[in-house]
Amino acid sequence: MNKILVLLAEGFEEVEALLVVDFLRRLNFEVDLVSVGNSRDVAGSHGIKVIADLKLVETDEVYDGIVLPGGMPGSANLRDNNLVIMLIKKFYNESKLVAAICAAPIALYKAGVLKGKKHTAHPSVKDTFVGSIYTGARVEICGNIITGKGPGASAEFAMEIARYFGSVDEAEKLYYDMMFN
């Protein structure tokens, strides 16, 4: 059973967080929504409040992957959190999945894991990336890094995360059954 950590910072993009969690849980992944702030209550960029399963400081579990939803100011809040940057580096260096969508790849960039790597992100932050290869694709996979362009690519992003962990047929069937195609 793969265990995934989805980080929520104030101002996260709701679609990118909740669609990924929903998709992966339907495939029987164990997914924890984790607040990077002082409270388990986290407000998204469009005012939807979510109660996280845990606060980041409470996690001591071993996870197989980390997912960073985008949104503003959520992405900036992830980028500016030293514990988040340390986790990104740790997961990357341990060859675990590091996934970010929309503007959240700015946190991956700050962590130094995008250097020389192909990736995508929301066009509003593309000028941030120096020394990496921004493609503008809907979803980009480069080793243990998966990036997505924005809310409209959330289902493809979630499917690629599931496929990364070997749930290829199941993820494609769910994508089709949920009528994303």
Q: What residue segments make up the domains of the chain, in order of their start? A: 3-177
Give the separation between CA 64 and CA 3, rounded to whole angstroms. Answer: 5
| Percentage of the chain modeled with pLDDT above 90 | 97
The fold of the 3-177 domain, in CATH, is Rossmann fold (3.40.50)
pLDDT at 138: 98
Residue 32 has pLDDT above 90, yes or no: yes
Catalytic residue among 14, 102, 156, 160: 102
Annotation says 61 is catalytic: no
Catalytic residue among 16, 140, 156, 160: 16
Mean pLDDT of 59-83: 95
Mean pLDDT of 57-71: 93
pTM given for the model: 0.97
Are 24 and 161 contacting, i.e. CB atoms less than 8 angstroms apart?
A: yes
Nearest to 150 by CA among 74, 86, 97, 47: 74
Catalytic residue among 119, 122, 156, 160: 122
Annotation says 102 is catalytic: yes
Nearest to 10 by CA among 66, 54, 65, 50: 50
Annotation says 142 is catalytic: no
Q: Would you say how long the chain is, in residues?
A: 181
Six token digits for residue 159: 């499917």
pLDDT tens for each residue of 145-176: 999 999 999 999 999 999 999 999 999 999 99
Mean pLDDT of 100-121: 98
